[in-house]
A and B are shown apart, each in its own frame.
Chain A
Amino acid sequence: MKGTLKVEAKNPEATIRGLFARWLKDSRLSAILVPAYSAGGIATVALFSNPEKLSEAAPLLPAMAVNAASIVAEIARDASANAKVGLFLRPCELRAVVELMKLKQVAPDSLVLIGADCPGTYKAAGFRNVRGEDDDFDNKYVRDQSGYAENVNFRTACQMCEYAKPLVFDLNVGFVGMDPDKELWVEAATDKGKALLEGVELQAQDEPEKRKQTLEKLSAARKAKTAARIEELDKAVMGPEKLVEYFADCLNCHNCMKVCPVCYCRECFFDSDTFQRDIAEHVRVSLRKGATRMPSETLLFHLTRMNHMMASCVQCGICEDSCPVTIGLATLFKKVSQNAQKEFDYVSGSSLDEPLPLATFRESEFARVGEE
């Protein structure tokens, strides 16, 4: 089921809120997770249940405070099926939710995945100043981005992201390649999505050519940008000397791990007693090289994290936003995860059926590994 949805009063954001209100009023959804402005301008995410409150929801808010998949993992680890919760999420958030479902960290039954197009977002920190007092900021952003316009103020990861349209969804609400003052693109991919569209007046049609072309244009431009960024990155990171330098400022705060949507262990190995060394142990390590960096084993943390998470990394770059010493993690993880996933013909979050690369194997594959 797909088609265009008429936009009321040149206000796409309000039109989307109207859909939410309908679903909450007739109890098709018990609640819906949507971006919102708190305290008058700070980007956040909220779980709305009362349709009256929806005026404060900002579904098209173009700033990312968290990857909301982390929140989904908090609230829907073993969700009961009597609550139906809608998740209005960006493509990278949906991809992370898909990975978490495969990692058995999110129970899918009570959730409806509602995707929104996202051509890019601003960092949450400082976004208040970007937006100013402009109440129509979100709609202006949508108008500006509907034709794809490069924006160098977007988050690093967003500037390299080729997926403006969600990969897996029950329902998608899109504006890329549309005239968002007049109509939005709505598409249901599953029965859950179709159930939400019942009673919604759609102009049924195939996905418009202009939309497809715009998405392709965006994707091509972003791939080119990624390649250029990785070329720059390589000059700064390749080889043991540079790699050590790249991570030299690390404070060992583990923020990058804590905010990572797919870093799912409830207790990280690196927060465990294994790394609670006493002084004698530190001296023993120091004796070997004459000195040892403190806090210790920060590079080990990052390299291990890469080995553990790169197969599922969705390249959202929220790690970089959370880093207090601004280590360029977004481009680095983009490169490392793309290469790693390529080995297994895997794209994280692109399918619920494709097994996780490290949770499966075939007898006849990688025959040279272990032999030479």
Chain B
Amino acid sequence: MANYEPKIVGFLCNWCTYAGADLAGTSRMQYPPNMRPIRVMCSGAVDSVYILRALLEGADGVFIGGCHPGDCHYVSGNYKARRRMVLFNSVMNSLGLDTDRVWLRWISAAEGRKFADTITEMTEHLSKKGPSAFKDKWEV
């Protein structure tokens, strides 16, 4: 626990949040290095299997970034991601698993500040919360 640093797997939509992350970087904004970004074409392309695999293999959190509602490059991908998130949370709740380890957030290409702040907030939240129960569980 002493050396615990949360590991976050991030799925960032190509058109908004990934560009937002770029902006945070080029603007030299500081944020914790705990998130490993994976660029995806749309938040609607993030199937639950990717989130679950990250969690079961020991990630402490999963971050999904998409365009604001109404701004999806593919018109409705983020609305579908939103519904899928509702279902995901429902399943996790039914099984008594943490839902606050998976964050879905809308961050546009212009919101470098919001990106840096969100990752900072998530890292702090997971640092306080402690490591995932699946981290050392080889039996999954």
Contacts and interface: CB of A to CB of B under 8 A. Distances in A.
Given A244-B137, A299-B140, A310-B91, A370 B85 contact: yes
A240 B133 contact: yes
Nearest to A286: B138
Contacts of A300: 49, 52-53, 56, 140
B124 interface: no
Contact of A363 (B48, B70, B84, B91): B70
Interface string B100-126: 000011100000000000000000000
Interface string B2-21: 00000000000000000000
Contact of A357 (B53, B87, B106, B139): B87
B48 A290 contact: no
A237 B56 CA distance: 16
Interface stretch (A48-56, A178-186, A301-309): A301-309
A229 to B, nearest CB: 14
Nearest to A359: B80
Interface string A345-361: 00000000000011011
A339 B104 CA distance: 21
A358 B80 contact: yes
Nearest to A335: B94
Contact of B49 (A269, A360, A371): A269
Contact of A241 (B104, B133, B135): B133
Contacts of A311: 87
A307 B48 contact: yes
A283 interface: no
Contact of A240 (B78, B88, B97): B97
A361 B82 contact: yes
A369 interface: yes
5 contacts: A237-B96, A239-B95, A288-B57, A357-B87, A358-B84
The 3 closest A-B pairs by CB, nearest first: A238-B96, A307-B48, A240-B133
Interface of B: 47-49, 52-53, 56-58, 66, 69-70, 76, 78-80, 82-91, 93-97, 104-106, 133-140
